[in-house]
Structure 1
């Protein structure tokens, strides 16, 4: 069954960190989520005034953050002594778990800074596990190039066609996430199997795309939530399309969020605030 467009969640212009300008679709309001996805931000600017102040030290607990750099260079540092460089084409997959205090600061004062940050919820049983992260450079992310000019980066999940099976570097996560970056040439069709148990959405960041059966035009810079089914079908417009595909198993658990803390009960949020204020995040 082909998945059609169920809901469109437009990206809303806002700012975060020390004033970084971005567009927030999922998570623009706390109830506008797609289990287990909590938030999606797109940042894209050639003006350093929009991004140079970055994201100074701030805490997280109870979920995972995924930063995908289309262009630019950011430095990650955290209270555990970890440091990593997020460069063009690379990904950082960070599990905040029981708590992490980190910063993400631009390492450039000119040029383009483009990319996404995604928040994915953790199941209750994993919310207090130790924090950790993976830095995955561009050269370590598998790519698929098809004869029709289609290009797919496989960050998480698996891509299969008649000739090959490509598995992304992110494995072993309980929500079984899929994260693809797809580039389609002009008027090219794209199909991808999405297991029916996964919640899924598409975000178009360049060009034009139609989705579903029958095909229906989808807006850019919005989270395009897909309905039930087991197949994504899309077609690029005359100028081609670039978009990300995100899917994962829903958790079906209560969510209580207070800023950068996402837990299951109010008491757990109060504990997170108390732990942070009393420097108990400082222990790995």
Structure 2
């Protein structure tokens, strides 16, 4: 999946504007991948973007809360966030770092800012687990910025968080969903290509500047998601940066094709499993 191939490029199916909301104890954020897109972008369940230099927007953080049945991937562009969980893990997420947590059968964790001023910006992505893996033991890894592989490409820089791109394996690999998670920093007019199996669901989130995908579609501006079409035979993604350059996330994965039953921080396959998850939390079995 790392090298461009001679095939049609995926077109932009639609451009999505995120929804302003808050989560945790009042952290202001934009929900880019919302619940109504979960089937279309399987195996991804949610993408939140946050960014503010106003402490009141983030200082309350995300006090202790439960999860079951999926993975959370937090990518911090700027800021400091402390993670603690009921499995005994603790870590400090800093500039350019990633926190990858598998909730599995259940974990209670907190994510609290360790700054009282300055900018905090980043993303949290929820990646679903297959039914056979939903009750696996919780797992956690802190990935400091220095451990995220970087590739210099013509006119830019590529950070490979997960998957493989341009011959470089990323910091994380997952067998079942095979996620690709790239952070692209492109100079003005620079182009990028990535091969991608046509069965994979994929999207691009532009967080600075703008991207152009083809001559027939309008540029995708900052703070917008380009949902990429699953066109038969289209096995690559190609785009170029606008006159001010661009920074964007390219995220893709193999769909699970399974039922999704969600109640807040619990994501299972059936309502029965979902009710059991809620009971287990209420009765202290996730601690």
Does the alignment pair 1:152 with 2:158? yes
Does the alignment pair 1:4 with 2:11? yes
- Alpha-carbon separation, structure 1, partners of 2:14 and 2:47: 15
Determine the structure 1 residue equivalent to 2:174: 172
Determine the structure 1 residue equivalent to 2:209: 207
CA deviation digits over 1:25-57, x for unaligned, max 9?
A: 112xx2222111100000000000000000000
Indicate how the Cα distance of structure 1 residues 71 and 111 shifts in structure 2: closer, same or farther if over 3 A, else same: same
Q: How does 1:20-59 map to 2 (within 5 A)?
A: 20-27=27-34, 30-33=35-38, 34-59=41-66
CA deviation digits over 1:188-241, x for unaligned, max 9?
A: 111111121211000000001111464541132222110122111111111000
Contact 2:14 2:226 in 1 (8 A): yes
SS of residue paired to 1:31: helix
SS of residue paired to 1:25: strand
- Alpha-carbon separation, structure 1, partners of 2:163 and 2:199: 14
TM-score (norm 2): 0.93
Contact 1:2 1:213 in 2 (8 A): no
CA deviation digits over 1:228-281, x for unaligned, max 9?
A: 221111111110000000000001111111000001111111100100001111
Determine the structure 2 residue equivalent to 1:190: 192
Q: CA deviation at 1:9?
A: 2.3
> Which of 258, 263, 269 lines up with 2:263 in the alignment?
258
Contact 2:71 2:127 in 1 (8 A): yes
Does the alignment pair 1:241 with 2:246? yes
Does the alignment pair 1:113 with 2:115? no
Q: Can you give the 5+ residue segments of structure 1 that lack an aligned partner in the other structure? A: none
Contact 2:43 2:256 in 1 (8 A): yes
- Alpha-carbon separation, structure 2, partners of 1:221 and 1:272: 34
SS of residue paired to 2:64: strand
Q: Can you give the 5+ residue segments of structure 2 that lack an aligned partner in the other structure? A: 1-7
SS of residue paired to 1:181: strand
SS of residue paired to 1:176: coil
- Alpha-carbon separation, structure 1, partners of 2:283 and 2:104: 18
CA deviation digits over 1:150-179, x for unaligned, max 9?
A: 10000001112xxxx210010234100000
Does the alignment pair 1:231 with 2:233? no
CA deviation digits over 1:126-170, x for unaligned, max 9?
A: 000101111100000110112x3310000001112xxxx210010
**Structural RMSD (CA):** 1.1
Does the alignment pair 1:71 with 2:73? no
Contact 1:183 1:243 in 2 (8 A): yes
- Alpha-carbon separation, structure 2, partners of 1:216 and 1:124: 39
